[in-house]
Structure 1
Amino acid sequence: MDKNIVKIAVVGPESTGKSTMATYLAEHYHTIWVPEYAREYCENLNREYTWQDELNMFYGQLELEEKLIPRANKLLICDTTFITIKIWSDHLFGRSPQEVLDELADHPYDLYLLLDIDMPWQDDPLRDFPDLREHFMAIWHRELQALNADYKVVSGLGAERHANAVGAIDQWLQSAAEK
């Protein structure tokens, strides 16, 4: 992995605009973004999630990121991270795969943008918990704090949300350059 690439993770509960934001940021910064592997994986799943599915999504997300990082232009924008696998596994199965836990500390991102739940819910066949957004937002805070992650909450709608994300990244980049 190229140590000169800044990795920005766009994370948060369901229906907070992560994919839209990742696409926007990649275009804004003239780089590429890593899509959420689980979305494509689950679109082809015609049954309930299993433990093995969580592991498959974990390995798939890691592989996709490693494959795309050489094409990044200084920044790599990641539409979620495998922390999502931990959160979903904990929720659905009461525990996380050891493989995921082992990788958390060894696979950091430079900055996490935690997208706020201030957007209206949008139905999608792959979204499951419209009534648990506050619950999952609290979990995201807890998980990022447990990693001692550098993260910013991004709120607002439309262009304001985009501007707030760009502002958070630009501020982080300026601060990193001054170190």
Structure 2
Amino acid sequence: MTRLRRVVITGSESVGKTTLGLQLAAHYHVLCVPEYVREFTRLKGTPPVLADREGLARGQASYEDEYIDRSRALGNTLLLHDTDLVSNVAYSHHYFGDCPPALEALAIARRADHYLLLDIDVPWIADGVRDRGDRREEMHTLFVTTLDRLGAPYTIVRGDWPERLSIATNLIDTLLSSPPSPFNLADHE
């Protein structure tokens, strides 16, 4: 079976996760798992509430499983993610003051090979859903502490858009040429 490495593009609102994920997917000719909460919010028409936490986690995990299967079928060695359950954990703490232990455990169990944590050094752009433009430092710090607490390997990616793409491709190239990590969800299903 082909070894599938998983890289998550993560961070607070309006840092370019989707843009970078699509650029990297095009560069490597691979798939990028979309952010489930974006589709959920679009269909629901309102921001998530406390009662949505479990459904959001299940939906994100389902997206990931579908894309892992599709990547394997294509023979890819890389799968990108436009966020993952780590974001669900961070935002659960931010919006609701806590996170169910089961959700944190699931995020740890599904941890990717590496996380690209996008810095807040790009302009914040409102889109009708984003609501934390005035709290970017707080949100970035929350992502750092969440990644640290969950034991997720990450690199902070800074700079303008071309710099970010260059940093990300260099990191992914290094990851793809290194020995596999001891655990990867895609290898243990």
Question: TM > 0.5 between the two?
Answer: yes
- TM-score relative to the length of structure 2: 0.87
- TM-score relative to the length of structure 1: 0.92
The aligned residue for residue 79 of structure 2 is 76
Query: What are the residue-to-residue correspondences of 1:126-165 with 2, within 5 Å?
Result: 126-165=129-168
Q: What's the offset of the Cα at 1:120?
A: 0.4
Q: Distance in 2 between matches of 1:75 and 1:48?
A: 31
Q: Which runs of 5+ in 2 are unaligned?
A: 181-189
| Aligned residue pair count | 177
Q: CA RMSD in A?
A: 1.8
Q: Distance in 1 between matches of 2:47 and 2:22?
A: 29
The aligned residue for residue 97 of structure 1 is 100
Q: Distance in 1 between matches of 2:78 and 2:19?
A: 17
Q: What's the offset of the Cα at 1:48?
A: 4.7
* AA aligned opposite 1:173: L
Residue 105 of structure 1: SS of its match in structure 2? Answer: helix
Aligned 8 A contact 1:6 1:110 in 2: yes
Q: Distance in 2 between matches of 1:58 and 1:108?
A: 13
Q: What's the offset of the Cα at 1:47?
A: 3.6
Q: What's the offset of the Cα at 1:98?
A: 3.3
Residue 44 of structure 1: SS of its match in structure 2? Answer: helix
Q: What's the offset of the Cα at 1:45?
A: 2.3
Higher alpha-carbon deviation: 38-47 or 120-129: 38-47
Residue 128 of structure 2: SS of its match in structure 1? Answer: coil
Query: What are the residue-to-residue correspondences of 1:21-170 with 2, within 5 Å?
Result: 21-72=20-71, 73-170=76-173
Q: Which runs of 5+ in 1 are unaligned?
A: none
The aligned residue for residue 15 of structure 1 is 14
Runs of 4 or more off by more than 4 Å in structure 1?
Answer: none
Residue 81 of structure 2: SS of its match in structure 1? Answer: strand
Aligned 8 A contact 1:156 1:164 in 2: no
Residue deviations 1:27-81 (CA, integer Å, cap 9, x gap):
1111101000000111122345322222211110000110111222110100001
Aligned residues with identical type, % of pairs:
35
Residue deviations 1:85-138 (CA, integer Å, cap 9, x gap):
111111111111333122122111001000010110011111010011111111
Q: Distance in 2 between matches of 1:131 and 1:15?
A: 12
Aligned 8 A contact 2:2 2:77 in 1: no
